[in-house]
Amino acid sequence: MASDATTRRPLDGRRILLGITGSIAAYKAAVLCRLLKTAGADVRVVMTPLAKQFITPLTMATLSKNPILVEFFDPENGAWNSHVALGEWADCYLIAPATANTLAKMATGVADNLLLTTYLSARCPVVVAPAMDLDMYAHEATQQNLRTLAARGVRIVEPEEGELASGLQGKGRMAEPDRIAAFVGGLLDEKKKTLAGKRLIVTAGATIEAIDPVRFITNHSTGKMGCALARRAAMRGADVTLVCANMTVEPPPFVTVVKAESAEDMFNAVTSRAPKMDVIIKAAAVADYRPKTVAEEKIKKHDGGMSIELERTQDILAYLGAHKSAGQFLCGFAMETENLIENARGKLERKNLDMIAANSLRTKGAGFAGDTNVVTLLTKDETEELPMLSKDETADRILTKINTLRKG
């Protein structure tokens, strides 16, 4: 007979309240509910009245195996649906999809339906998965509401980019159900709080080195990998400081964000905080060279060529490796176009790193801008090739490896 350890599902015994609002993305709630149930959760569903126009209560009742709650009173028998009892029952209140309207009401404390009054009564972690058109999502009012909710402890599963119901392309599409389910699973699985009480620095993005007030030298890094590492480390209970240069993505919630535009800025931000850190992960793409002189005025074009003299920037990883505290773990990244393992191992040894994550710009699914990565993890004694994974999954594998090595 299989043991409990082998048969236990990730969300066994967990109680999840799924809130559905009036969005075309409500159809995804059916898949999300099924995923949560398959993972072992007891799921109850509360819907706004408008949500019923996008997905039927019968569908959700069939999938959740529980009656659907919409109104404060059951119109059939007058039974009271207590928002207080719902808030006390749930281990997690997941609102997916969360419309701009619902997010605005949550941020301002409006409680004009059962879903919203339950939010105000919830004692459990609250997770929202926004879904709306790109202009609505980008609007400062919506962004301010999200910042307000994040500051109050609401977890936000960022929407994805792609084709929207309007036919436009952009950010605003609700995250896919498997991503949301994984987020909730990670939030509720206390066994995954492997970094509780630990202090981490993660760096992300591309530094900028000025040529003149208009032009600069940079690279193609978007910050996605670094943000994934910061997000997943925070979900594991770590106290995370994200030192970020130029990024195309928003920093995750629940981390301390420090801005650092240039290589010098990042050197100062990281090295000043490093002595107090248990783990340092350098995922940023930092310039190796910068203009020796920065023009005070815009450089005017003229006939003929132009040369810019460059000088080396300070090597942050080398400095950290030379000044590493006892018990401190230092992980670097190496993006290569040739001789991946040889070059990465050389960097590992030269800079006194504990581990390096190497990836090749020539490998499909790796590199900048995409949502996947293909990395090889190298230590002094091991080489582990990971398959193509999402950047969040890659981050999890890196953090698991770090935790294993630190315990060893």
Q: Write out pLDDT tens, residues 239-279.
A: 999 999 999 988 887 789 999 999 999 999 999 999 999 99
pTM greater than the 0.85 cutoff:
no
Lowest mean per-residue pLDDT among 29-43, 123-137, 305-319, 381-395: 381-395
pLDDT bin (cut points 50, 70, 90) of residue 8 is: low
pLDDT bin (cut points 50, 70, 90) of residue 163 is: confident
pLDDT bin (cut points 50, 70, 90) of residue 4 is: very low
Determine the average pLDDT of the residues in 300-305: 90
Burial class (CB in 10 A: 0-12, 13-18, 19+), 139: middle
Instruction: Return the sign of the alpha-carbon dihedral for residues 394, 400, 401, 403.
Output: positive
Determine the average pLDDT of the residues in 276-305: 94
Q: For residue 75, what pLDDT is reported? A: 67
Determine the average pLDDT of the residues in 131-160: 92
Q: Does domain 12-188 have CATH number 3.10.50.40?
A: no
Interatomic CA distance for residues 390 and 408, integer angstroms: 27
Let me know if 219 is a catalytic residue.
yes
SS3 260: coil
CA separation, residue 240 to residues 186, 230, 231 (Å):
17, 6, 9
- Mean pLDDT estimate for the chain: 90
**Continuous segment of H or E residues that includes residue 373:** strand 372-373
pLDDT bin (cut points 50, 70, 90) of residue 368 is: confident
Among 378, 351, 375, which Cα is nearest to 361's? 375
Q: Does 185 have pLDDT greater than 90?
A: no
**Crossing angle between the packed helical segments 114-121 and 100-108, to the nearest 10 degrees:** 40
CATH no., domain 194-407: 3.40.50.10300
183 or 313: which carries more pLDDT confidence?
313
CB atoms within 10 A of CB 324: 18
Q: For residue 84, what pLDDT is reported? A: 81
Q: What is the largest CA-CA distance in the chain?
A: 86
Q: Which of 66, 81, 101, 219 is catalytic?
A: 219
Percent of the chain, pLDDT > 90? 68
Q: Does 103 have pLDDT greater than 90?
A: yes
Domain boundaries, the chain: 12-188, 194-407
Q: Does 78 have pLDDT greater than 90?
A: no
Equal fold, 12-188 vs 194-407: yes
Q: Does 1 have pLDDT greater than 70?
A: no
Convert 204-234 into a string of H (helix), E (strand) and C (coil).
Answer: ECECCEECCCCCEECCCCCCHHHHHHHHHHH
Percent of the chain, pLDDT > 70? 96
